[in-house]
Structure 1
């Protein structure tokens, strides 16, 4: 019997502290920097985001999202035999955030590891989990995106500090006799490393370089629109589908303009696009599972529907997944 993988449960978590554009604008003004709610909304579509408090880590966000996903799937933590966490903001250098999450869940024995593909991380992680289930290596996987980007932001740079937020999203992916994930497509091009990066590291107990987010917004926008369209068309072709077969486009929630451009290229109306960027900001690897769970719990996305997920992130990484929920 051919083995497929299928999402059986979703979950998400946002830290309680919510900052509106007005909150950030006031903070920037205190530093002598000008911005406005109108400026942020017009260029990004973002109206609010959530930031963690001191002492909270990515594994804490992942734990809350994971518990929701497990409950939705009707699965106990002990039954999970694979954990993959997509994150660019791990709790520590090592061990992986996935291993830390495994310990907090009380899960043992199965492989647990992180995937670092920045905003493309969840697409990468879901692709890996799908492959491991199809080969019989795992039967029940927990795939999580968890990020604390607020700790990487330069609040003297008004062009980037307004874009990002913290949060986590998770799915339970199980072996199935019926197709769930229909096709995947992932890529990277390392020649674009410098257009979106955090150029710092730890050496000899000291921070080396500059551990703050740096981005060439125009270069990212131009590249993102093109590669997202290519990846979307690639997964549709692999699955023998066309854009008209898609019930919902769930893109990485980075910028409403990129999302609108992608939908336009696929000739999909915006009322078929799940949009949460206005309330969550860009939560990097957490954004797609967070948007998916938000839409599922709102009754917007329903079982049996065909979903197209796509993301692009630093690396430069990009990819897409086509699935039936």
Structure 2
């Protein structure tokens, strides 16, 4: 059986680090208030003129280096973002050019914070169908560009960054011991689109708009749906929750991460947590967390890893893979 195996991972964070105290200069908030509600202590913001593609290119180069590959060996780029450089063309094509890749194809996926899970599932399908042998899968965001700086409940939560994975086709034995992606699970429900959205759009307002979120409603949906998609993807893969070595969740909020782990009966020492340092980087958060976790020694060959995310749409999903 053909499998899509992770060959390399990398990330990039903008130089500017923004601590919680920065928000106290113009908002009625505090470091204690932000940490108690989200677990976030700091985040990174892109510099003026620094685009989503700039971050994605840096993360991609790091992932390619980790994989020991050149851009010319890549057949496809799948880039997840809700903050593209332009309305069109796809930011993935800008990254393709920036990497000096003149072959293959590149396209964007937009599923907000669930974007990387969607991108990973699509990249896996490209490999299993024979459309590509090696796929660069990227999550990159500049959410600081869509914040309402008067909304203390949301603007303190988000940051900018990028992460990338290199997937390569490999032969497996068709068992749960195979390295690579074992199963994927994607879901969405447009009835809940109003609880997490951006107020602008090309065909509606002709403006970019600002992020708007009903935090309590999102939290209520998040824990339930993330736990269920994790159970479902593990069932598809043919493994038990007790066999999971590591969970790499979307880094939205420490309370959501911990609540989901409790619902699944998984100890927090199996969960990768980076939200305190990066905030919510939307589609970038999972590959960014994976890259940091690998550097920490938290992701090792042969380990069973599950990753899950939920974002605007609502869209959510999960991937089970053996590292």
TM class by smaller structure:
over 0.9
Equivalence for 1:126:
120
**Cα separation, 1, equivalents of 2:24 and 2:82:** 26
Task: Report the CA distance between 1:25 and its aligned residue.
Answer: 1.7
Equivalence for 2:16:
17
- Secondary structure of the residue aligned to 1:61 is helix
Task: Report the CA distance between 1:239 and its aligned residue.
Answer: 1.0
Equivalence for 1:152:
146
Equivalence for 2:195:
195
**Cα separation, 2, equivalents of 1:168 and 1:295:** 15
- Secondary structure of the residue aligned to 2:47 is coil
Task: Report the CA distance between 1:209 and its aligned residue.
Answer: 5.7
Task: Report the CA distance between 1:6 and its aligned residue.
Answer: 0.5
Task: Report the CA distance between 1:207 and its aligned residue.
Answer: 5.8
- Secondary structure of the residue aligned to 2:201 is strand
Equivalence for 1:259:
257
Residues 131-151 of structure 1 show CA distances to partners (whole Å, capped at 9, x for unaligned) of: 110111100000000000001
**Cα separation, 2, equivalents of 1:143 and 1:210:** 25
The two structures have a TM-score, normalised by structure 1, of: 0.96
Given that 2:146 and 2:208 are in contact with CA atoms closer than 8 Å, whether structure 1 keeps it comes out as no
Task: Report the CA distance between 1:47 and its aligned residue.
Answer: 0.2
Equivalence for 2:175:
none
List structure 1 runs of 4+ shifted beyond 6 angstroms.
Answer: none
- Secondary structure of the residue aligned to 1:90 is coil
- Secondary structure of the residue aligned to 1:208 is coil
Task: Report the CA distance between 1:111 and its aligned residue.
Answer: 1.7
Note if 1:310 corresponds to 2:304: no
**Cα separation, 2, equivalents of 1:87 and 1:100:** 13
**Cα separation, 2, equivalents of 1:264 and 1:98:** 37
Equivalence for 1:181:
181
Equivalence for 1:238:
236
Residues 141-162 of structure 1 show CA distances to partners (whole Å, capped at 9, x for unaligned) of: 0000000000100110000000
Query: Structure 1: where are the runs of 5+ without partners?
Result: none
Residues 44-77 of structure 1 show CA distances to partners (whole Å, capped at 9, x for unaligned) of: 0000000011111000000000000001111110
CA RMSD of aligned residues (A): 1.2
Note if 1:77 corresponds to 2:75: no
Distance 1:122 1:210, change over 3 A: closer
Equivalence for 2:274:
276
Equivalence for 1:221:
219
**Cα separation, 1, equivalents of 2:190 and 2:112:** 13
Query: Structure 2: where are the runs of 5+ without partners?
Result: 173-177
Residues 233-278 of structure 1 show CA distances to partners (whole Å, capped at 9, x for unaligned) of: 0011011111111111110000001000110011111111000000
**Cα separation, 1, equivalents of 2:164 and 2:242:** 27
